[in-house]
């Protein structure tokens, strides 16, 4: 009697283990299939998005070979955020924090912390932390705005080399006006504001 009970008990346990194994395999296979379908949809979505964007750009650019998109990517992740563009070249521009705060304050933009100098400095620090992790490559070049204006000939050559073009296209741009406006922050900001930003963000200043 004892042996029979043991046999029945073992058989029940084995059968239960078998059912658990089958259920687990069924669950895992369904989970993996569901995951695979989601990944497939994501891939198809990326392909469709890329085709859609490039068709729009092709139409808007009037069939020109190259075109420039202002803020076409995200400063926090410039490589990933521009992955849908064909033959992309990313130009990451930074500017002296005093000039940026001056511009925000003048425009009174609520989208950025131009209303509070302390919040602005923390915001700028966080942005530059991420900026420092981004490395230059054949896809991306870093440009310092003040340096570009003050050393236009050399910096424009550097930019052309990155873009694989002989020279920058002609456009309505006066370098002398930019040089004149380069340090407007000195007049637009108070002495205490200039000193505070210089103290908190010294390593990021460009003049």
For residue 74, give both structure tokens.
């995200």
For residue 106, give both structure tokens.
């003048």
Measure the CA angle with vertex 81, ends 94 and 70; round to 5°: 50
For the beta carbon of residue 189, count every other beta carbon within 10 angstroms: 20
Backbone angles phi, psi at 171, to 5 degrees: -155, 165
Beta carbons of 121 and 97 less than 8 angstroms apart:
yes
Q: Is the model's pLDDT at 35 over the cut of 70? A: no
| Mean predicted confidence (pLDDT) in 45-70 | 73
pLDDT at 99: 94
pLDDT tens, residue by residue, 110-154: 667 877 999 999 999 998 988 888 899 999 999 999 999 999 999
pLDDT at 73: 87
pLDDT at 44: 54
More confident residue, 75 or 27: 75
**How does the average pLDDT of the chain come out, rounded?**
80
The span from the CA of 27 to the CA of 22, in Å, is 9
Residue 124, CA atoms < 13 Å, CB-side half-sphere: 25
Q: Is the model's pLDDT at 65 over the cut of 80? A: no
Q: Which of 79, 60, 176, 86 is nearest to 133 (CA)?
A: 79
């Amino acid at each position: 009697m004892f042996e029979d009970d043991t046999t029945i008990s073992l058989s029940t346990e084995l059968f239960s283990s078998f059912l658990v194994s089958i259920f687990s395999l069924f669950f895992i296979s369904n989970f993996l299939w569901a995951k695979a379908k989601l990944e497939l949809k994501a891939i198809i979505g990326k392909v469709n998005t890329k085709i859609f964007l490039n068709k729009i750009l092709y139409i808007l650019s009037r069939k020109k070979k190259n075109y420039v998109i202002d803020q076409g990517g995200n400063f926090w992740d410039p490589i990933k955020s521009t992955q849908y563009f064909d033959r992309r070249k990313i130009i990451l521009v930074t500017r002296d924090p005093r000039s940026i705060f001056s511009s925000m304050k003048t425009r009174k933009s609520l989208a950025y912390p131009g209303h509070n100098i302390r919040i602005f400095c923390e915001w700028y620090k966080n942005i530059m932390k991420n900026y420092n992790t981004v490395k230059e490559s054949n896809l991306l070049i870093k440009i310092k705005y003040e340096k570009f204006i003050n050393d236009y000939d050399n910096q424009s050559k550097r930019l052309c080399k990155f873009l694989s073009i002989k020279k920058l296209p002609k456009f309505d741009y006066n370098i002398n006006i930019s040089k004149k406006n380069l340090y407007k922050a000195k007049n637009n900001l108070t002495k205490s504001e200039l000193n505070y930003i210089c103290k908190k963000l010294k390593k990021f200043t460009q003049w």
